[in-house]
A and B are shown apart, each in its own frame.
Chain A
């Protein structure tokens, strides 16, 4: 089954404790991205990756890091989480091979609470 898998689904952590949210896709997609979703603000892109070892900042990258060592995996790293990073996070992937955007497939989301 084609899917994007995020882990964990729920996480409560304390300020300053490094954490990683994993994302894996099995569709051989080139393009992957991370979004956060907050009430009244919609989904905002944090980071994206065009392919292995190619990553770039999205609209709200502060406080986050990513890596793309393998095509299927795109982990999101919070080196020193703060309460303002409490949010619902989505990973997404798309094939990204054509001139126009293709369907983005989303993971089930990670609800992060930083206390």
Chain B
């Protein structure tokens, strides 16, 4: 089983729609979780960290479900500029504080 698994998509949604992605992780002891955004073949950039209590940043909401070992990203009121690949990232335990394991990404396409 992969350490981090994501549905590759693409998710095709119209502008204004709400879309959600899930990501599962294999190591139940993982402590830190993130969502990064990557535009086509460009560098990944941090979108948001995922906290145990869940967190929200504008139209974006991230949640962690430890019991089922998944994290989610919800995007409300989708914009054309949200079209990108969203990478789920996990810091596995006992690997050093800065070790990051990336999922293969979920591609989002927002159309007019």
Contact = CB atoms under 8 A, between A and B. Distances in A.
Q: Do A and B bind each other?
A: yes
Interface of A: 31, 33, 35, 40-45, 48, 50, 88, 90, 94, 96, 98-104, 106-109, 111
Given A96-B97, A101-B97, A104-B46, A42 B102 contact: yes
A21 B75 CA distance: 37
A106 B47 CA distance: 13
14 contacts: A41-B104, A42-B103, A45-B99, A50-B96, A50-B98, A96-B98, A98-B97, A100-B31, A100-B32, A100-B91, A101-B99, A108-B42, A109-B42, A111-B41
Interface string B69-112: 00000000000000000010001000011111011110000000
A109 B41 contact: yes
Chain B interface size range: 20 to 34
Secondary structure at the B interface, as helix, strand, loop or mixed, is: loop
Nearest to B34: A101
B41 A103 contact: no
A109 B105 CA distance: 17
Nearest to A93: B98
Contacts of B41: 88, 109, 111
Contacts of B97: 96, 98-101
B104 A42 contact: yes
A41 B41 CA distance: 14
B43 A107 contact: yes
Question: Which of B45, B87, B98 counts the most chain A CB atoms within 10 A?
Answer: B98
Nearest to A104: B100
B104 to A, nearest CB: 4
B44 interface: yes
Question: Which of B31, B32, B97 counts the most chain A CB atoms within 10 A?
Answer: B97
A40 B46 contact: no
